[in-house]
Amino acid sequence: MARTERIVWIDAARGICVLGVVLMHTTLSSYLGHLQPGASTGFWSWFIDAMTPFRIPGLAMLSGLLLARRIRHGWSDRTVRVSVASSYWLYAVWLLAFALYAGLVGAYVWTGPLGGTGAIRWDAYLNELVLPKTLLWYVFALAVWTALLATLRRVDPALVLVTLVVVSICSHYVPVADNNDQYRNLMRYAVFFAIGVYGSTWLRERVASRHLPFALGALAVYLGAGGIMAMGDPHVGAVLSVPRDAAAAILLLLLMAVICRVRPVGRALAWIGRRTLPIYVLHGLLLELLSRVPNWGLVIDRPVIRSLAPLLVTLAIAILSVAVYELVMRTPARVVFELPAPAKRALLGER
């Protein structure tokens, strides 16, 4: 399969993953709590829960797959330094945006860990530069995971993977601080990023060829582990969540490779996938603004709109995020979406 086709399914899968994240957050903050008592919300509650094994495990695996080559070269590859610095820069900038919004406008759900006092909480901002508690945690995680695996590049990948599996299982038992557990996700999902890094060639070949035994094996693991987890023992669930989520992520990649054979669909999803950054960092603030729309509950709680509201809002948020991004990138303010050029040149050793 041509390289360009492989890139299409990778980008398309990234697009589906980030839309899944936005859909979950939309459903939680702009849908479920705004309907009249007795309104049916069963499908969307079920759907976002069912997609849990696919969203972040898939996104993390894809991120690892895309960064694999430079990570395997370690810190001697200057682009690794740029990747780490870029991710942390974006995290710090957008965390600041969250803090300013929470302090000046008011916190709701997604800026909640940074607000609630009617003033900008600089203490919370500084704390979260080290211990993330907002939905921006994934941007922070990319910096941490990339730095970690680049540092461990000479360590046996099997040892790293086994260690990260244990870390992922242990994340379920880490205490929750201030009713927020976003920082635990750094531990839980690191293993999927590592699978993408160490298995990049293997994954690309099997997914691109739509390898049937590979697909059947992943499906068997997903159904088997998921079936046992459904019995309800939380300790068993913590252990089996790793194979279940890894299998789910692989199934997602395989599905996208098939879907991308329909070229218009593949191109549309890949277009979104190449713009996951603005969608991810902006959607929380846009949902916060949406919460301030007068009578929002009355707008969506209509028979024609109610059943499709989460999907329609998700698509609108994605389109608006990309529109904002395209406008900002034409101005000096583009530094909110990319590492400043002088810093990038310095890290690359350029004059």
pLDDT band at residue 116 under the 50/70/90 scheme: low
Cα four-point dihedral sign 302, 305, 308, 311: negative
pTM over 0.95: no
Mapping DSSP onto H, E and C, the string for the chain reads: CCHHHHHHHHHHHHHHHHHHHHHHHHHHHHCHHHCCCCCCCHHHHHHHHHCCCCHHHHHHHHHHHHHHHHHHHHHHCHHHHHHHHHHHHHHHHHHHHHHHHHHHCCCCCCCHHHCCCCCCCHHHHHHHCCCCCCCCHHHHHHHHHHHHHHHCCCCCHHHHHHHHHHHHHHHCCCCCECCECCCHHHHHHHHHHHHHHHCHHHHHHHHHCCCHHHHHHHHHHHHHHHHHHCCCCHHHHHHHHHHHHHHHHHHHHHHHHHHCCCHHHHHHHHHHHCCHHHHHHHHHHHHHHHCCCCCHHHHHCCHHHHCCHHHHHHHHHHHHHHHHHHHHCCCHHHHHCCCCHHHHHHHHCCC
Q: What is the pLDDT of residues 185-225, one digit of tens each?
A: 999 999 999 999 999 999 998 988 877 889 999 999 999 99
Q: What is the pLDDT of residue 38?
A: 52
Q: How many CB atoms lie within 10 A of CB 184?
A: 19
Report the mean per-residue pLDDT for the chain.
Answer: 90
Gap between the Cα atoms of 16 and 6, Å rounded = 16
- The whole-angstrom distance between residue 342's C-alpha and the CA centroid of its chain comes to 28
pLDDT at 203: 93
* Residue partners of 322: CB distance under 8 A and separation at least 6: 272, 275, 278, 279
Band (pLDDT 50/70/90 cuts) for residue 327 is very high
pLDDT in tens, 276-301: 999 999 999 999 898 888 877 777 77
Q: Whose CA is closest to 34, among 108, 121, 112?
A: 108
pLDDT digits (tens, 9 = 90+) for 51-101: 999 999 999 999 999 999 999 999 999 999 999 999 999 999 999 999 999
The values of phi and psi at residue 183, to 5°, are: -65, -25
Residue 22 or residue 41, greater confidence: 22
Give the per-residue pLDDT at 3. Answer: 44
Amino acid at site 121: R
Beta carbons within 8 Å of 310's beta carbon, 6+ residues apart: 23, 26, 27, 30, 31, 44
Among the ranges given (155-164, 180-189, 227-236), the one the predictor scored with the smallest mean pLDDT: 180-189
Q: Which residue has the tokens 């789910």?
A: 248
Q: How many angstroms separate the Cα of 286 from the Cα of each of 30, 168, 175, 289, 320?
A: 11, 31, 30, 5, 9
Query: Domain range spanning residue 94?
Result: 3-348
Paired tokens of 82: 């740029």
Residue 16 and residue 274 in contact, taking contact as beta carbons nearer than 8 Å: no
155 falls in which pLDDT band (50, 70, 90)?
A: very high
Report the number of distinct structural domains present in the chain. 1
pLDDT over threshold 80, residue 302: no
Any idea which of 40-54, 228-242, 268-282 has the lowest mean pLDDT? 40-54
pLDDT at 126 over 70: yes
Cα 256 to Cα 278: distance, rounded to the nearest angstrom: 22
Confidence of residue 4 (pLDDT cuts 50, 70, 90): very low
Q: In whole angstroms, what is the distance from residue 347 CA to residue 82 CA? A: 6
